[in-house]
Copies of this chain bind each other. A is one copy, B any other.
Amino acid sequence: MKPLRTAIIGFGKIAADQHVPAIQDNDRFELAASASRHGSGPTPHFTSHTDLIAQLQDLNCAAITTPPGPRYGIARDCIEAGLHCLLEKPPTATLGEIEELRQLADAKGVTLFTTWHAQHNPAVTAAAALLEGQRVAEMRITWHESVHKWHPGQQWIFEAGGFGVFDPAINAFSIATRIFPGPLFVREAKLQVPGNAQTPVTAEIGMESPACEGPIRCSLDFLKEDGEEWTIAIRTAAGQQIELREGGKQLFVDGAEQAAEGPGEYPDLYRSFADLIDCRQSLVDVEPLRLVADCLLVGERAEIAPITM
């Protein structure tokens, strides 16, 4: 079978570290080109996606790994050019844009794939299988990290549309919506916003689900300088304790670590992309982004002291 010729549009760290090797290690894909406004990428390299689309007539796919802001416009151009599109997370800046892309891809008959890479961790897949069809007693999400360590100098994260603590926490939401055996509804969200920021740096969120008998609590903290933690802990109604630690990398059942085998996040993601293209299907999952929007719809804000950015 002829490999799917794939361009990477937006060439930053995630493209170099994850997308390039995942494409190169998968026989179904061939890295055909890259585009980025600044800097360089695999050749042939273009400084605009429109030039790339115009000049590579035999392209099949585009992996769009720019920041979410410009992603809608780029994806629209790629879909109109008949390319199957893979979108890094979060797929777009707003819910309206991704819904429109879904309709454009359907109309054009191309595959649109909203990737949430954390969902493709083998431990997450194993946790989802364990929880399928079960009732839940309670869930606790703890997502505590240091913005200064992981996003040094990235002021955009504190600006309007920059997501703040939801930038890392949307990964937690993507795991939670993947493994939880029912829908999740946001009931309340207490958000702390520094006086010099537009986005929250901590959030205490209460959720509910018809599949859950007890509390669902999320503790998000972007200012945790030590004792960082990325845990999702679920107690089932049957009394089993299922925990994902280290951001979905490790699975513990009743305290015992479980082996979880799989190709890994990005290799699995490109495997899924090929399957979707073969089946002429799209996978447009907006749930993690919708949870963030719902936190803002019902959220209560409190201003806290300015932070050093």
Contact = CB atoms under 8 A, between A and B. Distances in A.
Nearest to A190: B160
A309 B95 CA distance: 32
Q: How many identical subunits does the complex contain? A: 2
A97 interface: yes
Interface in A107-150: none
Q: Which are the 10 A-B pairs with shortest beta-carbon distances? A: A160-B300, A293-B293, A94-B294, A296-B296, A161-B298, A100-B183, A95-B290, A96-B185, A96-B294, A198-B300
Contacts of A159: 300
Nearest to A289: B297
A210 interface: yes
B301 A97 contact: no
Interface residues on A, range: 20 to 34
Interface in A207-255: 210
Interface in A182-200: 183-186, 188-189, 193, 198
- In this complex, the member of A100, A159, A184, A293 whose beta carbon has the largest number of chain B beta carbons within 10 angstroms is A293
A100 B183 CA distance: 7
A262 to B, nearest CB: 28
A76 B293 contact: no
Contacts of A270: none
A185 to B, nearest CB: 5
A279 to B, nearest CB: 21
A299 interface: yes
Contacts of A290: 95-96, 99, 293
Interface string A63-85: 00000000010001000000000
A274 interface: no
B296 A293 contact: yes
Nearest to A161: B298
A291 B161 contact: no
A298 B93 contact: yes
A277 interface: no
Contacts of A292: 297
Contacts of A291: 96
Contact of A184 (B96, B296, B297): B96
Contacts of A97: 185
Contacts of A72: 185
